[in-house]
Structure 1
Amino acid sequence: MPATPALPSYASGTSDVPLLGDTIGDNFDRTVAAFGDRDALVDRDPGKRWTYRELAADVDTLAHGLVSTGIGKGDRVGIWSPNRAEWTILQYATAKIGAILVNINPSYRSHELEYVLNQAGVRMLVAAESFKTSDYAGMIEQVRPKCPGLEYVVLLGTHSWAELMDAGRGGDPALLAKLQAGLSADDPINIQYTSGTTGFPKGATLSHHNILNNGYFVGELCNYTEADRVCIPVPFYHCFGMVMGNLACTSHGCCMVIPAPGFDPKATLAAVAAERCTSLYGVPTMFIAELNDPDFATHDLSSLRTGIMAGSPCPVEVMKQVIDRMGMAEVSICYGMTETSPVSTQTRADDSVERRVSTVGRVGPHLESKVVDPESGLTVPRGTPGELCTRGYSVMLGYWEEPDKTAEAIDAARWMHTGDLAVMDDDGYVNITGRIKDMVIRGGENVYPREIEEFLYTHPDVLDAQVIGVPDAKYGEELMAWVRLREGAEPLTTEAVREFCQGKLAHYKIPRYVHVVEEFPMTVTGKVRKVEMRQQSVTLLGLEQVAAQRHA
């Protein structure tokens, strides 16, 4: 008898729970009606808290304020700020009137800000005045003359924010209801910029349907109810914060807890203890910092039940410690990308510890996953490596005003090609084994080497530059630049390169290591062999032990 052919690497997420068909505003109103008196939002830094009814009042006031300035459906409103309550209030206010929220990474510097404001056509920018080393107000002033479409700048905590809120007080609820009723769940509602291989970020455009359902089903797989309190130290500008965090909470009536504006391990542990959080989010770097905090043992984390670790490969030992020492018995690993709203696969609470430390789970409800041969595009048999693709409600509408780039990422059958190499086992669990593209994931931030290479080319002494990711115990990966210098140039130090990048590139895009070479390793066809460069770099930097660490 002929052998039975192996199952294809394809899986679909069946579910008894239907997809949500409403807009974010309508879904939020439903939660407010059901859980009005329950805690909705706690912002620990200024010590403010809101019930769902109080949060709804502020959201509606801000929505009226936006309308009073002429902001309406389809207009782009930028948000450039670390985590704070106003970020969340603006997220829901823009959703209620159909304005498209444009998330701007708080680490961006002036040239990145200018590009995003112009590319998205941002009419209003809401921003913090400053945070840590970032003078947002100063950078906005610098780029404003070069952004003709930018009509309004509102700085949080200043007169301009108070004015915007005041303008919305006493607004007609019937007007807001009418605007809300005119929206479709398939309308674009959010643009998130992801580092681009062409040197500039691309704006992944997401609908109500995309992100509301993704937040909802991530919350479903974490078994959220209105009794849950979720500590969100991950940034709101990223899907991890605003979708898996905020939308997972508001679609279930949970409480959102902001431990601090930026990640702080002490503040996070203190927030979990004081607010009796049942769930905690983070990239592996964050959990490592919390577990290693000298005062870790003094915090009562007994309320924790679950949480999510995602954003970069999760070290097995860290995952085990999170379960054992933090009591997060039901902790989940999620995998995805901004372009898929973001989660495609997730481990379940009833998965074995081995599954949860060695895979990124299986396909989410109402989604499809497959692993294909990158050359032929055909689905490979289970157990065979290939490129992971995902399809379903979560796939973005496209890259903002970049149809060619969209067509490169999403094929004619609406499969999103992730560029990640993966293996699907017989039970449908996925293991990420590498990347087809050269993308580096540093502490949960996606970095495309091409963008940094393009920038390094502007250095007067650099003839050519190649940027790679090398293993790092703290961030998962760190950036290393291999550079060839122009004839007669002075030797170039790592410090000099970092100084050249300072203030012009976001901190996580600045190479940690610099290696000056005469030539790059090349293939016979003249392509740079980055794989070989990585191998050499591991030896060169003495990172063999870090490289050998097991990840899910």
Structure 2
Amino acid sequence: MTANPAYVRGPKDPALWIKTLGTALDEQAARFGDKSALIVPWQSVRLSYRQLADRSRVVAKALLRLGLRHGDSVGIMAGNCHEYIEVFLGGARIGCPVVVLNNTYSPDELRNAACISSCKVIFIASKIGTKDLAAHIAILRGQGHPNPKLLELLQLVCLGNDEFDGKGIGIQSYTQLKVKAAFGITDEEMLRRAEARVDPDNVLNLQFTSGTTGAPKAAMLTHVNLLNNGLFIGDALRLTPDDIVCCPPPLFHCFGLVVGFLSSLSHGCAIVFPSDNFDAKKVVDAVMSEDATIILSVPTMFMAQLEVMAKSGQKPRRLRAGLSAGAALSVSLIAKVREKMGLRKIINAYGMTETSPITFMTVLDDSDDKAETIGRVMPHTAAKVIDSNAYIFVVNRLIHPSRYIVTMPQKFSRQPPGVSEAILITFPAPNLLLVTLNRPQQLNAMPQGSHRAFSSLELWSEKNRAGIPSHGADGDSWLEHGFGGMSNRRGKEPIIAAVSGYCFGGGFEVMLNSDCVIASESAKFGLPRASEMTLLGRTYTAQTLYEWGILSKVLPENSVLDEALRWAAEVAAQSPDAIILNHAGLLGGWDGEDPTLLSNHLPIVTTDPNALEEQARGAMETKSFKYIYRGAGELSTMDANRLAFRQWRIIPRVLKPASPRDLTTELFCVKYDSPLLVAPVGVQAMFHSSGERGLIAACAELGIPYILSTAATQSIETIAEACGPHPRWYQLYWPKDNDITRSLVLRAKNSGFSALVVTLDTVTVAWRPHDLDIANLPFLEGIGNAVGFSDPVFREKFYARSGKTPEEDQLGASRYWISEVFAAEHHSWEDLELLRELWEGPIVLKGVLSAEDARLALQHGVDGIVVSNHGGRQIDGGVSSLEMLPEVVEAVGDRMTILFDSGIRTGSDIIKAIALGAQAVFVGRPALYGSGIAGKEGAYEVLAGLLADMEQCMAIAGFQSIADLKPSIIRKV
């Protein structure tokens, strides 16, 4: 079969670098030592490879001291300066993606970009060229914004200005930051551990595209992507360690960062950044003074440099080659640049941000007229070349097993699984996953390798995202059994198939098991195992299958994908949970089940909130159930919590757009999928053998942050590892011993917990008759003490007083631990200063019911409060949380984050709490009942059911988003 000339592939040599940027830098530092690596004339800075590696370690340690951990984003907005490179390398060492923020952003654009990318710290210059960034810094500090707490999680480091006083939101100078991190054995050990966690496939850089590919978006590029692109660019320029590269393009653009810096680093060159902002005279001066051999520019920069040279009469002595990117460089301009600047050759480079960024380049051996072409495809890169009239998009990517470029919505915490070079992954719209087959020589047939790829994608997909596969034919590669887990498929996500060309074998099987199929008029269908098709050799047209009712629609070939994407977007706009339930009903009907009963798909956990307790009672051991079920005294506070919700009624609206619903909620500058959080609950191993892990997994699937209790049954570090990349907060039962407090808080900080929830209503355990009557005291049995027993300071202090370890004297250690965390002694408001010293992130006080206490919390710099009575487990005869919520909101609601806890059982309860001023709610008992009934699956069903109930209620009542849930939508009766 003749190869399709539209498909091109670069050479397989040289071999890919499968390493992290930190490793590459260390290797180059060992090889080149004191040789110049970075030259910044405008700052009078000249760093060797060894110095650059050392400085990157200092920055990495500084980031760790700020509380950043693997996967946390680091933003930077600055001109071309040595600090920019040091921050980029420092973040790379510990697995913190660096978000490069465009120097032209307005203050509002900067704030939005910081929030979208979830930056934990931003390095920002006080000015860039003549542009003052005071307004940008002010808006990042929350000034001039209706919600000044929006960015309180963010820490700021100012470059080039040591005058900041450290007030506000963690702002300090770059010099101060590095001095603090320059020394310390502990920091070195932390750095070694952090570096060991970084993988070449981790995201290294988040680049905001310029919008030329449709709309600006954040491209997530890995160590492998960027290092290899820099390596191949340097090879095309034939860089050697003797070269000196002059780079005027900005570092916030991939031209400066990848084409410039990483190509130089990979070849042991020195790179010169002449000025913080483009200045043609400074570029020419740098080329002359540093005897540069390579110049990087866009066409307009070349023209400005030529003008400066014409006026000064200067002509570079050693320039041998130039590289232009971003726009075509005409043959006439090439000739002029070569003549005036003494260049022997100029090469052109093209690509997209998403492709690391260069895909095609000319090389030094090409003639000048080749500059008007896109050049040659890069090594290890595949592309499809199209003309301006073809209906197809170009996909260019580095090809390596499990290593490929994909532009993902920021909500996803990890990339899709590695598939193969025959399957391309893109996200064309929110909640849509587009799977495109890429086997043109086999007419896009689906062999056994594709089966495994589709299976892995099926497992990866967690929520409804419509997939759109295309199919072809290859008579030697049909799969003998069901394809990709698609046969009689049970997935939750609807699949829409867009079919053009041949659809045989595995492709036919996938098509039959898709939910909707849109085909081109020229498509052909067949299945070798079907007798009529096999024995008679028949294939069927799209029109025939449409008449049989197998296809949903038949269209001209160039309209198929557009229509499939429109259908998929329409599906994705609906309630995810409603889609799952409706999809289950359809599957039941196909299987011959009674669609009104879904008898084979009954929920594991009852959907009736009033029946949940009884189901849990039957499934759990008596002690475990009663520990959750009951509360303090005669349960009057528990009863008040539920009664309070029944005293409020929702006022529905009609004839209002309520689709698609948007439950996304922003807390402390982090966007979550919904306003639902699971309350921190201890002793979870009592309820199910999976302990905390089951609830962690359920929260991860639903995008809910997990809040670890101090009374957990596993250590802080173990839970952090189980959470992986998913968001996590730490709840502190505040010990009376400051040394133990300091140790617990720092352990949580070092383990990547992002918020500190301090529970204040448990200075001692309440009078709970239902536990006392059956001696239900899990802490004395060693359950719920893992955080304390694993704490080095607590262990040291217990050994000093008893001469034993907690393992040798469990009862004694338990009593000592209880005496610390439930000490019957109140801390003071002034004691919060210690927590603020230890914790740079948001601090949230849980158990605030008084408006006066809320005001005091605000005065003492607290970031948020949880209006909570501990679910009625602490004070009998107390006020309900909901009745106090309006007073607290009135006192401080527009100046701090208010969360709600106690009594949530239904989706309408969540709506009522938010309408009364809460920004998010905690749910406790229901999630634990689900976990006690069926572990992770049970907890998931309860939490997903709450969200589905909430979303359905919003749809019926005419509310489209969280912003619609205002006090005016409810009434007290």
Please, what TM-score do these two structures have when normalized by structure 1?
0.68
Matches within 5 A, 1:169-318: 169-172=182-185, 173-196=188-211, 201-293=216-308, 295=310, 298-318=313-333
Tell me: CA distance 1:123–1:307, structure 2 relative to 1, closer, same or farther (3 Å).
Answer: same
Q: Which amino acid aligns with 1:273?
A: M
Deviation of 1:398 (Å): 1.7
Match of 1:27 among 11, 18, 24: 24
Tell me: CA distance 1:207–1:7, structure 2 relative to 1, closer, same or farther (3 Å).
Answer: closer
1:316-371 superposed Cα distances (whole Å, 9 cap, x missing partner): 32122122221222321000111111100000111112213x21211001101212
1:102-123 superposed Cα distances (whole Å, 9 cap, x missing partner): 0000111012111101101111
Indicate the residue corresponding to 1:389 in structure 2: 395
C-alpha contact 1:64 1:171 (8 A) present in aligned 2: no
* SS of aligned partner of 2:37: strand
1:375-429 superposed Cα distances (whole Å, 9 cap, x missing partner): 8757xxxxxxxx54323249633234167994228952488xxxxxxxxxxxxxx
Indicate the residue corresponding to 2:375 in structure 1: 361
Distance across 1 between alignment mates of 2:154 and 2:384: 45
More helix by share: 2
Q: Which amino acid aligns with 1:351?
A: D
C-alpha contact 1:105 1:237 (8 A) present in aligned 2: yes
Match of 1:61 among 52, 58, 61: 58
Distance across 2 between alignment mates of 1:63 and 1:389: 35
* SS of aligned partner of 2:127: coil
* Structure 1 unaligned residues grouped into runs of 5+: 379-386, 416-552
C-alpha contact 2:8 2:385 (8 A) present in aligned 1: no
How many corresponding residue pairs? 403
Q: Which amino acid aligns with 1:361?
A: G
Indicate the residue corresponding to 1:104 in structure 2: 101
C-alpha contact 1:336 1:343 (8 A) present in aligned 2: yes
* SS of aligned partner of 2:234: helix
Deviation of 1:300 (Å): 3.8
More strand by share: 1
Indicate the residue corresponding to 1:136 in structure 2: 133
Indicate the residue corresponding to 2:151 in structure 1: 148
* SS of aligned partner of 2:19: coil
Please, what TM-score do these two structures have when normalized by structure 2?
0.40
Indicate the residue corresponding to 1:161 in structure 2: 174
CA RMSD in angstroms comes to 2.6
Bigger mean CA deviation after superposition, 157-166 or 81-90: 157-166
Deviation of 1:296 (Å): 5.5
Distance across 2 between alignment mates of 1:312 and 1:255: 26
Q: Which amino acid aligns with 1:54?
A: Q
* SS of aligned partner of 2:183: coil
Q: Which amino acid aligns with 2:29?
A: V
Whose RCO is larger (CA < 8 A, sep 6+)? 1
C-alpha contact 2:325 2:348 (8 A) present in aligned 1: yes
Tell me: CA distance 1:214–1:296, structure 2 relative to 1, closer, same or farther (3 Å).
Answer: farther
Q: Does 1:401 align with 2:410?
A: yes
C-alpha contact 2:309 2:315 (8 A) present in aligned 1: no
* Higher-Rg member (1/2): 2
Tell me: CA distance 1:274–1:374, structure 2 relative to 1, closer, same or farther (3 Å).
Answer: closer
* SS of aligned partner of 2:89: helix
Distance across 1 between alignment mates of 2:315 and 2:387: 49
Deviation of 1:282 (Å): 0.6
Distance across 2 between alignment mates of 1:18 and 1:414: 26
1:220-245 superposed Cα distances (whole Å, 9 cap, x missing partner): 11111111111010000011001111
Q: Does 1:95 align with 2:99?
A: no
Tell me: CA distance 1:174–1:402, structure 2 relative to 1, closer, same or farther (3 Å).
Answer: closer
1:423-452 superposed Cα distances (whole Å, 9 cap, x missing partner): xxxxxxxxxxxxxxxxxxxxxxxxxxxxxx
Deviation of 1:290 (Å): 0.7
Q: Which amino acid aligns with 2:351?
A: G
Indicate the residue corresponding to 2:694 in structure 1: none
Match of 2:384 among 370, 373, 393: 370
Tell me: CA distance 1:82–1:360, structure 2 relative to 1, closer, same or farther (3 Å).
Answer: same
C-alpha contact 2:70 2:197 (8 A) present in aligned 1: no
1:195-215 superposed Cα distances (whole Å, 9 cap, x missing partner): 448997311111111111111
Indicate the residue corresponding to 1:412 in structure 2: 435
C-alpha contact 1:122 1:149 (8 A) present in aligned 2: no
Q: Which amino acid aligns with 1:367?
A: T
Match of 1:46 among 13, 38, 43: 43
C-alpha contact 2:315 2:341 (8 A) present in aligned 1: no
Deviation of 1:149 (Å): 5.5
C-alpha contact 1:64 1:167 (8 A) present in aligned 2: no
Distance across 1 between alignment mates of 2:191 and 2:311: 47
* Structure 2 unaligned residues grouped into runs of 5+: 163-172, 417-424, 439-973
* SS of aligned partner of 2:75: strand
* SS of aligned partner of 1:399: coil
* SS of aligned partner of 1:106: coil
Match of 1:324 among 336, 339, 354: 339
Deviation of 1:143 (Å): 4.2
Deviation of 1:181 (Å): 1.9
Tell me: CA distance 1:304–1:196, structure 2 relative to 1, closer, same or farther (3 Å).
Answer: closer
Distance across 1 between alignment mates of 2:87 and 2:207: 15
Deviation of 1:154 (Å): 0.6
C-alpha contact 2:245 2:269 (8 A) present in aligned 1: yes
* SS of aligned partner of 2:345: coil
Tell me: CA distance 1:12–1:140, structure 2 relative to 1, closer, same or farther (3 Å).
Answer: same
C-alpha contact 2:129 2:276 (8 A) present in aligned 1: no
C-alpha contact 2:37 2:270 (8 A) present in aligned 1: yes
C-alpha contact 1:60 1:93 (8 A) present in aligned 2: yes
Deviation of 1:298 (Å): 3.2
C-alpha contact 2:125 2:160 (8 A) present in aligned 1: yes
Deviation of 1:305 (Å): 1.2
Deviation of 1:87 (Å): 0.4
C-alpha contact 2:288 2:316 (8 A) present in aligned 1: yes
Q: Which amino acid aligns with 1:169?
A: A
Deviation of 1:177 (Å): 2.8
Indicate the residue corresponding to 1:335 in structure 2: 350
* SS of aligned partner of 1:45: helix
Indicate the residue corresponding to 1:459 in structure 2: none
Deviation of 1:161 (Å): 1.1
C-alpha contact 1:39 1:49 (8 A) present in aligned 2: yes
Q: Which amino acid aligns with 2:204?
A: I
1:501-526 superposed Cα distances (whole Å, 9 cap, x missing partner): xxxxxxxxxxxxxxxxxxxxxxxxxx
Deviation of 1:307 (Å): 2.2
Tell me: CA distance 1:56–1:296, structure 2 relative to 1, closer, same or farther (3 Å).
Answer: farther
C-alpha contact 1:144 1:150 (8 A) present in aligned 2: no
Distance across 2 between alignment mates of 1:52 and 1:169: 18
Distance across 1 between alignment mates of 2:131 and 2:153: 20
Tell me: CA distance 1:391–1:274, structure 2 relative to 1, closer, same or farther (3 Å).
Answer: same
Q: Which amino acid aligns with 1:304?
A: L
